[in-house]
């Protein structure tokens, strides 16, 4: 069989805001795939209104990609499998934290498989130090003045503080 390259992967999410857990998944994906497109969901359906605009969420991620020249960041507002196709990606890569992510991801996997059997979803296990880290947890901590060191990039921590003080 001919050699295959790993091609392009899409890492989707709402990234409201990006955490070091997300950056870890993106970085690990960039080691395995030739190209990575981080897809920032413009208007997440299963979540409340986002704290940051899609442009701000994209810019936060872009600010943390130094040295990762095979990664690009784009916002999208269509079906994930369509976004993957538009970007020539055959693989969706997601991070899996503690068991809580599993049920939702399992359901999404079946739906995406039904719509686009040619696109495969794969999962990277969260690094232990980020297993309990979520954007919503970070926002809650920030709201009450908690220390965000080691959870989000410093630039994001100060933007969160500003946004929540308003
Ligand atoms: P959140 O659930 O924090 O709002 P997103 O919807 O933006 O995150 O998630 C984007 C992707 O990143 C999903 O695949 C999610 O499971 C994964 N992810 C989120 N936080 C982490 C983390 N701390 N470690 C590994 N993967 C994560």
pLDDT of residue 5: 72
Cis upstream peptide for 17 (omega within 30°): yes
62-73 residues labelled b (16+ CB within 10 A) or e (exposed): eebbeebeebbb
**How much is the mean pLDDT over the chain?**
93
**H or E element, residue 70:** none
The whole-angstrom separation of Cα 52 and Cα 88 is 28
- pLDDT tens-digit series, residues 130-159: 999 999 999 999 999 999 999 999 999 999
Residue 112 pLDDT: 95
Of all protein residues, the one whose alpha carbon is nearest to atom 22 of ligand 1 is 21
Q: Whose CA is nearest to atom 21 of ligand 1?
A: 21
- The CA–CA distances, whole Å, from 55 to 39, 52, 59, 62, 123 equal 12, 8, 6, 10, 26
Question: Tokens 């810019």 — which residue?
Answer: 59
Choosing from 18, 22, 121 the residue with most ligand 1 atoms within 8 A of its CB, the one to mutate for a pocket test is 22
* pLDDT tens per residue across span 79-132: 999 999 999 999 999 999 988 899 999 999 999 999 999 999 999 999 999 999
């Amino acid at each position: 069989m001919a050699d295959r390259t790993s091609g392009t992967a899409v890492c989707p999410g709402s990234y409201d805001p990006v955490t070091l857990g997300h950056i870890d998944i993106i970085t690990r994906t960039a080691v395995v795939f030739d190209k990575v497109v981080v897809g920032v969901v413009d208007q997440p359906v299963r979540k409340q209104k986002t704290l940051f605009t899609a442009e701000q969420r994209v810019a936060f991620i872009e600010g943390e990609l130094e040295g990762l020249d095979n990664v690009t960041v784009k916002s999208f507002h269509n079906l994930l499998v369509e976004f993957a196709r538009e970007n020539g990606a055959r693989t969706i890569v997601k991070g899996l934290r503690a068991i809580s992510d599993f049920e939702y991801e399992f359901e999404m996997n079946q739906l995406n498989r039904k719509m686009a059997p040619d696109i495969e979803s794969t999962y990277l296990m969260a690094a232990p130090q980020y297993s309990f880290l979520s954007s919503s947890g970070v926002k809650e901590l920030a709201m009450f003045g908690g220390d965000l060191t080691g959870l989000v990039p410093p630039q994001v921590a100060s933007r969160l503080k500003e946004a929540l003080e308003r």
